[in-house]
Amino acid sequence: MPQQQEEWTPAGPYRLKSGQHAGQTLEQILLHNIIDFLKMKWALERNASNPLHLNGYQRHFQWLIAKFDQLAATALCRECGQPAKILPAVGSSQEGYHFVPQPLCPACCAKSQWQRASTVSLSLRAPENFRSQSDKKRAWEAIKAALGFPKKITGQQLFELLAAINHHSPV
């Protein structure tokens, strides 16, 4: 059976009716509270064992993640113009990381001034790879900046940006 979430586009941002974030939209939480968004994602992944019976929240959540990663896949390497997959990250888990919001392809990264740096993938999941909350947050800020998000982007604007992505965009 084809993945139905590929064809389905929600009508608007998903507003939570209860819980700690009641009144906020999933889009706002993704933009401004990546720590809680990732916790909600883990909870969802634990509970959504049957992909054919997703409720509206689960369906919207998965749509958001898939669309964000489609958007991230359109980022181009600032050196060669080929698809960019990573950002350089300098530091260590003890001292904390500094993330460079410059999308690069692995080949250009390997021959740049960042060749000895760590890297973070341009993906919504990438902040999960860092242990400390401040690194998670900084990684997320760098990913948003690398994708050209305005600082004051609203949940509604993010929704519209993601909803406009063509299903056949290169991945």
* 89 in contact with Zn ion (CB under 5 A): no
Count CB atoms within 10 A of the CB of residue 113. 9
- CB of 101: closest distance to Zn ion in angstroms? 16
Distance CA 37, CA 140 (A): 11
Part in contact with Zn ion (CB under 5 A); list of ranges 2-10, 68-76, 106-114, 135-143: 106-114
What number of chain residues touch Zn ion (CB under 5 A)? Answer: 5
Q: Take residue 170 and report the two structure tokens written for it.
A: 């290169």
| Residue in 34, 38, 64, 105 binding Zn ion, rule: CB under 5 A | 105
| Residue in 76, 80, 90, 164 binding Zn ion, rule: CB under 5 A | 80
* 79 in contact with Zn ion (CB under 5 A): yes
Residues making contact with Zn ion (CB under 5 A): 77, 79-80, 105, 108
